[in-house]
Structure 1
């Protein structure tokens, strides 16, 4: 009985130590993700700028060629640019980084 109690006590101590190591790992991962978050948000803004420039050139070309679906292309281009900017801004404010 004494051996069983000793074994269960050591097992409990081992579980507590492992849980503390797990918490430290989670905290370290959270810190690393937060450090990359600003860079990721800036990357989303940069991608939005590139998509905006490419889309503007595409719309300008279609407009000069007189193609009838210019409005559709312009609205989808504008919508994708707005979406990228809004998502980056909302994520930045939501996570408080």
Structure 2
């Protein structure tokens, strides 16, 4: 029993010393993480705009087909399609403005 406790104490001591030896400046790490995250915002925003364009094209075709077939539910489909496109654009713009 004492051997197990001694091994655990030695192991904890080694981990503690290793942590002290590899300690870094916290501000430098936070700044590096911030820079990495902000570098992803522009490509992510462009991706969201591209997804919005594809959703817009698919929705436009869906609305046109419903309108051509005389479906009475056309206005509801058009409103939901338009709302989805606006949400994607506004969400991307607000996220970029908020975080950058």
Same fold (TM over 0.5): yes
CA distance in 1, matches of 2:71, 2:62: 11
Q: Give the corresponding residue for 2:35.
A: 31
CA distance in 2, matches of 1:34, 1:93: 11
- Structure 2: segments with no counterpart, 5+ residues: 1-16
Give the CA deviation at 1:26. Answer: 2.5
Q: Is 1:50 the equivalent of 2:58?
A: no
Give the CA deviation at 1:19. Answer: 5.5
Q: Is 1:94 the equivalent of 2:98?
A: yes
CA distance in 2, matches of 1:28, 1:95: 15
CA distance in 1, matches of 2:73, 2:49: 27
Q: Deviations over 1:38-71 (max 9, x none)?
A: 0000111111011000000000000000111111
Count of residue correspondences:
82
CA distance in 1, matches of 2:67, 2:40: 40
Q: Is 1:79 the equivalent of 2:80?
A: no
CA distance in 2, matches of 1:79, 1:61: 19
CA distance in 2, matches of 1:28, 1:19: 12
